[in-house]
Amino acid sequence: MAKKEVAVVPRKKAPVERGSNPSLTAKVAGLNELMDKKGIRIIDLKFVDLLGTWQHFSITRHEFDDSLFIHGIGFDGSSIRGFQTIDESDMLIFPDIESAVVDPICAVPTLSLVCDVGDPISGERYSRDPRYIAQKAEAYLKTTGIADTSYFGPEQEFFIFDSVRFDQGQNFGFYHIDSDAGIWNSGRENNGTPNLGFRPRNKEGYFPVPPTDQLQDIRSTIINKMGDAGIRVEIHHAEVATAGQCEIDMRFTTLTKMADQALMYRYIVRNVAKQFGKTATFMPKPLFGDNGSGMHVHSSLWKNGNPLFFDKDGYALISQTLKWYIGGLLKHAPAILAIAAPTTNSYRRLVPGYEAPVNLAYSKRNRSAVCRIPMYSDKPAAKRVEFRAPDPLSNPYLTFSAILMAGLDGIQNKIDPGDPLDVNIYELSAEEAAKVKRVPGSLTESLAALEEDHDFLLKGDVFTQDVLTAWVDLKKKEIDAVRLRPHPYEFFMYYDP
């Protein structure tokens, strides 16, 4: 990625910043009381790598005191994806005391703390810590004067399968997924056990009651665990695809807090599925011929407690501020997708015909547009935009931050999103459809867009050049890993033509 000059904002040293909280001792005492009450002897320290996966290690109760929050605790940053080289491997994590919850998964009573990453030499926060990027995005929003609060609400979709097998070698490559809820099992012989039917057909998995919805109790168990972790859940249901596609929606909250919750959500889903003897995946497109899993991201801006996206006289009740925000999303969408649809598999989902938001347009109610204005409520507080292109393998800290930065750029530069597209885009004539721009068709195209268009991310030192360079380098390696291997279907097409 080409280097560009960036105005770097000085940052406070982490130990000074951490030790300046006069209420820390009282909060630690409160946690000690909680741990006594719950019988907790293990403290689990979680932090996120650049690609969006939680990492962790645990300490005993004896090691827990004020100094943990002031001086941090060390780990090997060279073993974490996208972090340090081996010659600069020593790093620190600092627990965020406000994130403390009793871990909803561990059988041994455990306190869970989300952590920030710092450099032990400079004492500064670490530029490649995704949580720091999210915190900087929220701070930058306030400096613009446009708003003081950004709310986010992601709809994370996922599959729960009965089994999955996959492997790759020099002379073979395969995957095999199975689910009793998969329509392909309608004709299965069960070695003398009756085949009881009730499986959703392709694209017919949305909202059927049990027994067709086989995962009701599993999802209910999941949301109860989420509630134990302090996550407010609004709804859960079966999703469109066959074979166990699900969705659980959280109540909106502020950017960094929602990113924390999004990772706790994935942690709980995967572990509860395993407890039921099943396997959960957030892979965007695990099944051929049916809908993939997205992470539709709702966002809104507020100032002094007032919503900024509502106008009773506007199209779909949206304000000019929201129109400009949408203009920024549409302009920068190809670059955003390098972060928000970050895998080669993401672009097997972003194809026409599977409710995939491939069209760079906005509309009320229209799910084929990349930006949708939900029309469920006419209340000012409910007015928001849904950016439908991200998927749940993206790093939520980076994805939410990129969406916010693109929207703010749209407001700052008064970017006109054009006219809304309130038609079924898939039913347009070829001539009309050719006028509608599409999202990138591959990760390669999205990365090229990010390399060309990333100045909006660098504002306020929110994203930094080294973060974007590291990101692009990691993703290009993933592209090569897939590009260099024969695909199983190539044998079907080419082995004996």
Q: Are 411 and 299 in contact (CB under 8 A)?
A: no
Backbone angles phi, psi at 409, to 5 degrees: -60, -40
Higher pLDDT, 3 or 462: 462
CA–CA gap between residue 17 and residue 124 (Å, rounded) = 9
Q: Is the pLDDT of residue 104 over 90?
A: yes
Active site residues: 76, 155, 157, 239, 247, 296, 367, 386, 388
The model's pLDDT over 16-44, given as tens digits with 9 standing for 90+, comes to 344 456 689 999 999 999 999 999 999 99
The percentage of the chain sitting over the pLDDT mark of 70, rounded to a whole number, equals 95
The model's pLDDT over 109-135, given as tens digits with 9 standing for 90+, comes to 999 999 999 999 888 999 999 999 999
Query: What's the pLDDT score for residue 3?
Result: 41
- Running DSSP on this structure, what letter comes out for residue 376? S
Q: Is the pLDDT of residue 85 over 80?
A: yes
Listed residue (373, 369, 391) closest to 439, CA to CA = 369
Over residues 366-378, the mean pLDDT reads 89
Q: Where does the pLDDT of residue 331 fall: very low under 50, low under 70, confident under 90, or very high at 90 and above?
A: very high
Query: What's the pLDDT score for residue 22?
Result: 66
Q: Is the pLDDT of residue 6 over 50?
A: no
Listed residue (388, 329, 393) closest to 356, CA to CA = 388
The residue to which tokens 């490649």 are assigned: 128
Sign of the torsion angle spanned by Cα atoms 264, 232, 158, 391: negative
Query: What's the pLDDT score for residue 454?
Result: 98
In order of start, what are the domains of the chain with their CATH numbers? 14-126 (3.10.20.70), 149-494 (3.30.590.10)
Over residues 199-211, the mean pLDDT reads 94
Query: What's the pLDDT score for residue 1?
Result: 59
Q: Is the pLDDT of residue 2 over 60?
A: no
Question: Which amino acid makes up residue 247?
Answer: E
Over residues 5-15, the mean pLDDT reads 37
Q: Please report how many Cα atoms fall inside a 13 Å half-sphere around the Cα of residue 25, on the Cβ side.
A: 2
Query: What's the pLDDT score for residue 428?
Result: 76
Q: Are 320 and 331 in contact (CB under 8 A)?
A: no
Query: What's the pLDDT score for residue 27?
Result: 94
Query: What's the pLDDT score for residue 21?
Result: 64
Q: Is the pLDDT of residue 15 over 50?
A: no
Query: What's the pLDDT score for residue 353?
Result: 74
